Amino acid sequence: MPRPRSLTETQIAAAALAVIDRDGLAALTMRAVAKELGMGTMSLYRYVDDREQLEGLVVALVLGSVDTEPPPGSSWRERIAIMVERVRDAVGAHPNVVPLTLTHRQGSPSSLRWAETVLGILTEAGIEGERRVVALRSLVGYLVGAIQLEHLGPLSGEGTRTMAALPAAEYPLLAETARQAARVTVDEEFRRGLNVLLNGLAM
């Protein structure tokens, strides 16, 4: 086998992301990424130690595309919404990566800068101390959960149709809510849910 070419972390991360996007997160292995790069598995070990390091590189690549600069002007709520939407756009393009963001986001410089920016906006709004802790945690939790629901259990999916068909005598509210859910778009669901959270933070 020819001597492997020099690789950058970005090239390795892009190959790993291609495997995840195409075959799912479970398919991410050193062997699969090496094949994607056109090299032997042992050659890849010259660059990365294991799958965990691959995961970190993937998260850094995906979150690295997020604009972490504070949005100009507008209210603190609008600025927070913009920051959240930026992550949604970046991660939503690669939904199989969502679980990795929970365990590797602290290792991504872009993720840390994003959190610092959000904390700055919250601080300007007078949200400090433990309130700020819970606010940031709630925003991250909503963001990750909403992206997962959007791609794994959308309102337009089979699960909603199944609940809409439940016997009204036994599940009147659930069946009615599921029928109404069919009229809610993906973007509307995300933004209205975020608005509920921001209303709570503003109290």
Task: Summarize pLDDT for 163-175 with one digit per residue, the tens.
Answer: 999 999 999 999 9
- pLDDT at site 72: 87
**Which tens digit of pLDDT belongs to each residue from 39-70?**
999 999 999 999 999 999 999 999 999 999 99
Q: Which token pair is 189?
A: 């669901």
What is the CA angle 119-120-121, rounded to 5? 90
Angle at which helix 76-92 crosses helix 186-202, to 10 degrees, equals 140
Instruction: Answer yes or no: is pLDDT of 24 > 80.
Output: yes
DSSP state of 106: G
pLDDT score at 105: 80
- In which band, very low, low, confident or very high, does the pLDDT at 5 lie, cut at 50, 70 and 90? low
pTM: 0.85
Instruction: Give the chain's domains with CATH numbers.
Output: 9-63 (1.10.10.60), 76-202 (1.10.357.10)
| 26, 141, 153, 169, 189 from 202: Cα distances, Å | 40, 18, 29, 39, 20
Element (H, E) at 62: helix 51-63
